[in-house]
Amino acid sequence: MLKPLKITPCLWFDGQAEEAASFYTALFPRSKITGLSRYGEAGQEIHGQPPGTIMAVAFELDGQPFTALNGGPRFKFNEAISFQIGCETQDEVDYFWQQLSAGGDDSAQACGWLKDRYGVSWQVIPTALSAMIANPDAEKSQSVMQTLLRMKKLDLSELQRAYKGSK
């Protein structure tokens, strides 16, 4: 039997790994940068980075480990991968939405999705939403879904009104 594994998302940046890790760790509680590694002489013909340049930043967001890699311009983030932030209150939704969307792009996003200034996609969602959508009462769940589809940043009180049938 395999022992439990720790899975760490690795985010590919073009020179902004330390900046991004610092930004994210400042936003989330119980978060910190846990390590830095730098490019050396070895492999310079492949990576093309000057020795001493930051290669990777290990960090934690609320205890979840991440790695930010300065891999160059070859790959870009897209919506195929996103990080969900489960928010208990509207104040939490507002806080994370405001902080993460600053300098980013929320113009084409919907249903609580946004892209931050680095191109990383986030879903800022009230934790109560899953139960509302999964409710076996189709009228309630469909009312919430219709309301959700009209929103960018999610409004918990509006979703709750839709759930209760008093749009």
What whole-number distance in Å separates Cα of residue 10 and Cα of residue 26? 19
Residue type, 11: L
State pLDDT tens for residues 126-146: 999 999 999 999 999 999 999
Is the confidence at residue 117, as pLDDT, over 70? yes
Is residue 105 scored above 90 in pLDDT? no
**Res. 75: pLDDT tops 70:** yes
Statement: the pTM of the whole predicted model exceeds 0.85: yes
Please say if the pLDDT value at position 94 is more than 90.
yes
What is the C-alpha to C-alpha distance for residues 136 and 105, in angstroms, rounded to an integer?
35
- The pLDDT, as a whole number, for residue 167 is 52
Q: How far, in Å, CA of 146 to CA of 124, rounded?
A: 18
**For the ranges 99-113, 116-130, 152-166, which has the lowest average pLDDT?**
99-113
Report strand pairing: 54-61 vs 32-38.
Answer: antiparallel
CA dihedral of 143, 144, 150, 153, whole degrees rounded to 10: 160
Query: How many Cβ atoms sit within 10 Å of the Cβ of residue 78?
Result: 11
Euclidean distance between the first and the last CA atom of the chain, given in angstroms as a whole number: 52
Q: Which domains does the chain have, with CATH numbers?
A: 7-75 (3.10.180.10), 77-167 (3.10.180.10)
What rounded mean pLDDT belongs to the chain?
A: 92
